[in-house]
Structure 1
Amino acid sequence: MDETTARGTEPQRYAVDLFAFWHPSVWGLETVADIKELGARDPRRLWDRLLTLVTDSGVQAIEVTFAPFDWRTAVAAYGSLSGLLAELDARGLAIVSGYLPSLEDPVALLPENRASLLEAVGGYVDFLAAVGATALVGSAPLRGTRGAITASFVDLATASRLAVPFHEIGAICQRAGIRFALHTESHSQMWTARDIDLFMLATDPFYVGLCPDAAHIVLGGGDPVAIAAKHSDRLVTAHWKDATGPMSWDLPIDKSIHVAHREFCRVPGEGIVDWAAWAAVMKSAGLLDPVLLEIDAIDTPVESIRRAIRHLDGVLATV
């Protein structure tokens, strides 16, 4: 198929969150801990291989994420910011956004730890601005397991408390010309349609936007197209990922919950998301350049990304 899409004569650009390459077998390793060890011991070896996988998949940009697929390891791999930029330019790649894992840690969000968090965010945001990225994305901490002996609730008080660090991070981003967006992570405190409404109400739109993830919204029983359209004025970026349908709210919520999500996640075109309708909302919001794919950690990321691109090229040609 001709790569020309709704953008006219220019080929459609795609980006991918680097989480797509998180599976140990991609690296010939046994565990995720082995990937982290390789990144700490030999960042250049890891990042050379990572960027080769990225270019082989057919995307033109990336969202940096957890270490060692993070910005600090990337800079260490090439000796400096300028060295990293030269490597990206040589490969025809760009960095469009960054994911902030520390927002998932409730301890990091405590008032007594806020200064350390904000200092780290400042360095991250300065990096994103320097490489020409536009967005910083983060998820709220996990919910408590439903029915647990010690129950926890996501209510207006919860959203108001979390809005404090979210606003502070948003202000740091604004000063650097970066936009901050909350991500709709499954089983997090901002997951269901109601949760998203709650956090959009509790936060200032001048400083806090939204990064809807189509798959995670489906997993929570929501309609990703309707939610994205409802909050179209808050959209900063979006994760294009598919899902087979809703998953239970009653799973035990612990550190393994993210692995449980993978059973239900699919590449775009292999689940139930209405991608034509989703793409129309994103086009109206100016978020088609690039389309940011999120592929769950699987052992065939390059092939999966290529399948997603083939499907979405067809969809976007009609939008």
Structure 2
Amino acid sequence: MTGTPSPGPSRTLDRIRVGSAPDSWGVWFPEDPEQVPWQRFLDEVSQAGYQWIELGPYGYLPTDPARLADETAARNLRVSAGTVFTSLHQGPAVWDETWEQVSRVATLTRAMGAAHLVVIPSFWRDDKTAALIEPSELTTEQWRHLAEGTERLAREVRERYGLEIAVHPHADTHIDTEEHVTRFLDATDPALVNLCLDTGHYAYCGGDSVKLIETYGERIGYLHLKQVDPRVLAEVVRDGTPFGPAVRQGVMCEPPGGLPALEPVLTAAQGLGVDLFAIVEQDMYPCPPDQPLPIAERTRRFLRGCGA
């Protein structure tokens, strides 16, 4: 799909710190023969013009802080966040298992000088077969577990590691559509729980990123930048395709060829008057090893053209 490049920024987006992530190199798992080696990711993300990265799936990049610090510094890279996956709607029974994972990722995230932990809810259907793992709608009790568990997680992560969580609305999870995102925000403490607004996932689920920023701006703590191809998305919605196969169909596309338009999103985020990371995450697993770098370079040029 093609798009018209931005005519140029109306102002400099000096509160937005742009980066990229292993996801933009087709990395979804700690180890997978279809993924590029971590050294190549670090080399190419730096070559593409980025200075900020996320850790990606724990174990993909070196987990020894000293080694990772050396590897990133050698390429003039810094870490903005780590990522964890949770099933907090299942209640207190999953807390110990959740915290075991969170503590590992938070330890490395803090050691790398980052201040954010991106929290992704668990999927309600199998990412490959589309089989239901559990109902797509939570019960009232599960919503309460989700809200209380997320607040506890935010509190513990802040107190023990000095990190702020950013909950990531995600396709095929219970925090996805505008209705679910709004319900989650209204159920959680603004002093503890913010969002990682992923522009692609929110559009995938029918949401308007600019509207969300304008309505709940004080809850936007982090951004992921991506776009969806509306033609592929229409097929995905028609066929009920799960997220993983939808990515293989190319539902997430290279900017500026999809939706939402990123310049209005960035301008709205700039208008919040706070410093925000905006990390490019173009889902494309799996992908040929030579595909990510040219896309990353073009995307970085496009974002500079937006003022970021």
Which position in structure 1 is the counterpart of 2:146? 162
Q: Paired residue for 2:211, among 226, 233, 241?
A: 226
Q: Identical aligned pairs, as a percentage?
A: 21
Q: Which residue of 1 aligns with 2:246?
A: 260
Classify the secondary structure of the residue corresponding to 2:255.
Answer: coil
Equivalent residue number for residue 113 of structure 1 = 94
Shift of 1:65: 1.7
Cα distance, 1:132 vs structure 2 = 1.4
CA RMSD of aligned residues (A): 3.4
Q: SS in structure 1 opposite 2:225?
A: coil
Structure with higher strand content: 2
3-state SS of 2:221 partner: coil
Letter in 2 for 1:198: R
Partner residue in 1 for 2:56: 65
What is the number of equivalent residue pairs in this alignment? 288
User: What residue number does 2:298 align with?
Assistant: 307
Measure, in 2, the Cα distance between the counterparts of 1:85 and 1:23. 20
Q: How many angstroms apart in 2 are the aligned matches of 1:237 and 1:215?
A: 14
Q: Deviations over 1:188-222 (max 9, x none)?
A: 11111101001111222222110111111111112
TM-superposed deviation, 1:238: 0.6
- What is the Cα deviation at residue 35 of structure 1? 5.1
Counterparts of 1:129 and 1:112, CA distance in 2: 27
State the match for 1:6 in structure 2: 12
Deviation at 1:64, TM superposition (A): 1.2
The amino acid that maps onto 2:65 is: L
State the Cα distance separating 1:16 from its structure 2 match.
Answer: 0.9
> Quick one: distance in 2 between partners of 1:89 and 1:309?
20
1:94: which partner in 2? 78
Deviations 1:172-202 (A, max 9, x none): 2211221111112112111111010011112
User: Which amino acid counterpart does residue 110 of structure 2 have in structure 1?
Assistant: A
The alignment partner of 1:159 has SS state of helix
List per-residue Cα deviations over 1:4-43 (Å, max 9, x = no partner): x7157x9x8531121122269xxxxxxx73258x9xxxxx
Q: Secondary structure at the match of 1:237?
A: strand
TM-score, length of structure 2 as denominator length: 0.80
Kindly report which structure 2 residues correspond to 1:151-300, keeping only aligned pairs within 5 A, or say none. Answer: 152-175=136-159, 176-245=161-230, 246-247=233-234, 248-249=236-237, 257-262=243-248, 263-286=250-273, 290-297=277-284, 298-299=287-288, 300=291
Residue number in structure 2 paired with 1:33: 32
Residue identity opposite 1:266 in structure 2: C
- Runs (4+) of structure 1 exceeding 4 A deviation are 144-148, 246-253, 286-290
Q: Which residue identity does 1:21 align to in structure 2? A: W
- Is residue 121 of structure 2 the alignment partner of residue 136 of structure 1? no
Runs (5+) with no aligned partner, structure 2: 1-6
The more displaced of 85-94 and 290-299 is 290-299
8 A Cα contact 2:13 2:270, kept in partner: no
Shift of 1:302: 1.1
- Residue 137 of structure 1: CA displacement? 0.8
**Aligned 8 A contact 2:44 2:293 in 1:** yes
Task: After superposition, give the CA deviation of every residue in 1:208-239 in whole Å (9 maximum; x if it has no partner).
Answer: 11011111111111211111221111111010
Could you state the TM-score of these two structures normalised by the residue count of structure 1? 0.78
